[in-house]
Amino acid sequence: MRIYNSILIKLVFLVALTEFFIMLAYEYFTPLKMLIERYVFLGPIIDTSTLALIITIVYLRLLKKPLDELLKVMNAVEKRDFSVKANEKKKDEFGLIAAHFNNMSNKLKDW
Which residues have a Cβ under 8 Å from the Cβ of 45 and sit 6 or more positions away? Answer: none
Q: Give the whole-angstrom CA distance, residue 99 versus residue 79.
A: 20
Of residues 24 and 67, the one with the higher pLDDT is 67
Whole-number Cα distances in Å, 25 to 1, 19, 46, 97, 109: 37, 10, 12, 40, 56
Q: Give the whole-angstrom CA distance, residue 21 versus residue 104.
A: 45
Q: Looking at the predicted structure, is the pLDDT value of residue 95 above 60?
A: yes
Q: What confidence score (pLDDT) does residue 32 get? A: 65
* Least confident piece of the model among 30-39, 40-49, 72-81: 30-39
Q: Give the whole-angstrom CA distance, residue 50 versus residue 21.
A: 11
Q: Looking at the predicted structure, is the pLDDT value of residue 76 above 90?
A: yes
Whether the CB-CB separation of 89 and 95 falls below 8 Å is answered with: yes
- The tens digit of pLDDT for each residue in 2-37 reads 555 566 677 777 777 777 877 777 777 667 667 666
